[in-house]
Amino acid sequence: MDSGQGGKSTSKSKDGLQNHSPGSSNLSNRTSLFLVLFIFLLSVGSLLLVYLRFPSLDSEERQHIKLPRDMEEAKNLGQVLSKYTVEHYTTVLSAFFITYIFLQSFAIPGSIFLSILSGYLFAFPLALFLVCLCSATGATFCYLLFYLVGTNLVRKYFPQRVESWATVVHKHKDNLLNYIIFLRITPFLPNWFINIASPVINVPISTFFIGSFLGVGPPSFVFIQAGQTLHKLTTTGDAVSWYSIGILAILAVVALLPVLFKNKMKSKFD
């Protein structure tokens, strides 16, 4: 990403987005796709290993060990896992950790159900820390994946969207951490797009990780709390109330207060 790294010639547009010269990319689009596929299959193999090391399950339980696609499947999975959490706590915790990171790393839907499940399976403080850590770690893996092999793909398939977001990021370059926290709390940009576009527009990885860890906390709080009453939920919408939406809105504003205060003080003394 650095213009002086590896002899690459890069330039920056006025919006802060780096423009690579035609010969600056080491990997073709086809090579990038093959590498992404290889890393994906390697990750699937890790999940399979976790599954094989899981305690013996009867046929009825085994049918529920899958990524939940709706609340009913999440309930069934939660009931099976809770049965083994006492005697095989570390195994269940490890399986949760690896699966959550896998979903986040490849932007696969389903992590919201795992967030709810964490509130059902683990103590609240641990569940909140675990979800924030998994979300930030998985998002950072996605960041690194696209930094290494996916830059061409992002530029090819989302050129206008990346250019537009690069302009906004450039405006917030002095308060980027607060901006990333704000984006993680609010739904203005999909999380998957933030993950894949951040390395392209040169968002520092440390800011990206910390902002992701802190930003996913408030919405995760809502879903984990809902998970404590998993048996009462019928859809993911049941986990969100107008009260929780109001709290998230307030926290999003709070994330921007340091920026507003800083700008006000700057204009006062200029």
Would residue 225 count as lying in a domain? yes
| Cα 260 to Cα 82: distance, rounded to the nearest angstrom | 46
**Tokens linked to 189:** 């940009």
Only one residue has tokens 């009867």, namely 58
Round the CA-based radius of gyration of the chain to a whole number and report it. 21
Q: Do residues 113 and 68 make contact, with C-beta atoms less than 8 angstroms apart?
A: yes
User: Lowest-pLDDT range, 2-11, 97-106, 227-236?
Assistant: 2-11
Torsion of CA 72, 76, 77, 82, to 10 degrees: 130
pLDDT of residue 232: 61
Would residue 257 count as lying in a domain? yes
Would residue 5 count as lying in a domain? no
| Residue ranges making up the domain that contains 53 | 11-269
Would residue 6 count as lying in a domain? no
55-78 pLDDT tens trace: 888 888 888 888 888 888 888 999
| Cα 157 to Cα 152: distance, rounded to the nearest angstrom | 9
pLDDT of residue 29: 64
Would residue 4 count as lying in a domain? no
Q: Where are the alpha helices (DSSP H) in the chain?
A: 29-52, 59-62, 71-85, 89-105, 111-121, 124-145, 151-157, 159-171, 176-185, 191-197, 205-215, 217-227, 242-269
How many degrees, rounded to 5, is the angle at CA 211 between CA 224 and CA 70?
A: 35
Q: What is the DSSP letter of 10?
A: E
Our count of domains for the chain comes to 1
Rounded to a whole number of angstroms, the distance between the first and last alpha carbons of the chain is 34
Residue 10 pLDDT grade (very low, low, confident, very high; cuts 50, 70, 90): very low
Residue 236 pLDDT grade (very low, low, confident, very high; cuts 50, 70, 90): low
User: Lowest-pLDDT range, 90-104, 168-182, 251-265?
Assistant: 251-265
Would residue 68 count as lying in a domain? yes
Would residue 212 count as lying in a domain? yes
105-151 pLDDT tens trace: 998 888 989 999 999 999 999 999 999 999 999 999 999 988 887 77
Q: What is the DSSP letter of 18?
A: E
